[in-house]
Amino acid sequence: MTLAASALRVPRAIVFATLCTVVSAGGHALAGGGLVPPFLGVLGVVVSFCVAYPLGGRERGPEVVLTATGGVQLLLHELFSRAAQGPHTTILGDHGHPASGMTAVHLAVALGTGWWLYRGESAVWLMIRLYGRRLPVIRLLLAVPTEVVTPAWRPVTAHEATPYGGRDVLPSVRRR
């Protein structure tokens, strides 16, 4: 495991868990399941974190991120539905048929959230690869001393002759 992977393991798991739980709780409420109590939201973050932390040892592809997000969404759906007061929709209906409404919402949200998390994961690892190693061009730029030269500024007067035969093409260029 690389140093970057171990340093980012906990923050990545926290982002995954928090995002999955907030989106799932919001979707659950919008789909008619009612508001999720705060203690249940915290429990959802803990459950999601326990799924994400073991997967955070290295960069993951879309198949792992989407599968983990989908699995967590289904777990959170069950957790929120079973804890809700009144009728609830479980993954399987009364007669073994898939429940269509809320489960479909959770799966659609899982797909969108999973893709979003995967793209963020890709961006983080790209930055680690680009900025984590020393590139010769960057070393060269850092080695060249630079002087800060402040330009002498003077106000432009209306009486100055324009360099283009009396036509002032770009006043901002002329002042620079």
Mean pLDDT per 10-residue segment, the chain (176 residues)? 69 90 86 84 94 85 89 88 62 49 75 89 81 57 61 65 55 53
> Of the candidates 100, 23, 35, which has an alpha carbon nearest to the alpha carbon of residue 69?
23
> Of the candidates 2, 114, 120, which has an alpha carbon nearest to the alpha carbon of residue 64?
114
> Of the candidates 114, 112, 105, 92, which has an alpha carbon nearest to the alpha carbon of residue 16?
114
Q: Residues 125-128: contacts with CB within 8 Å, 24+ apart?
A: 125/59, 128/4, 128/8
Distance between CA atoms of 155 and 64, rounded to whole angstroms?
A: 62
Counting Cα atoms < 13 Å in the Cβ hemisphere of 154 gives 6
Distance between CA atoms of 23 and 29, rounded to whole angstroms?
A: 10
Distance between CA atoms of 94 and 89, rounded to whole angstroms?
A: 9
pLDDT of residue 50: 94
pLDDT of residue 8: 78
pLDDT of residue 49: 95
DSSP H or E segment with residue 14: helix 3-28
Q: How many residues does the chain have?
A: 176
Helix axes 101-132, 3-28, angle to 10 degrees: 160
DSSP H or E segment with residue 24: helix 3-28
Distance between CA atoms of 176 and 151, rounded to whole angstroms?
A: 9
pLDDT of residue 46: 95
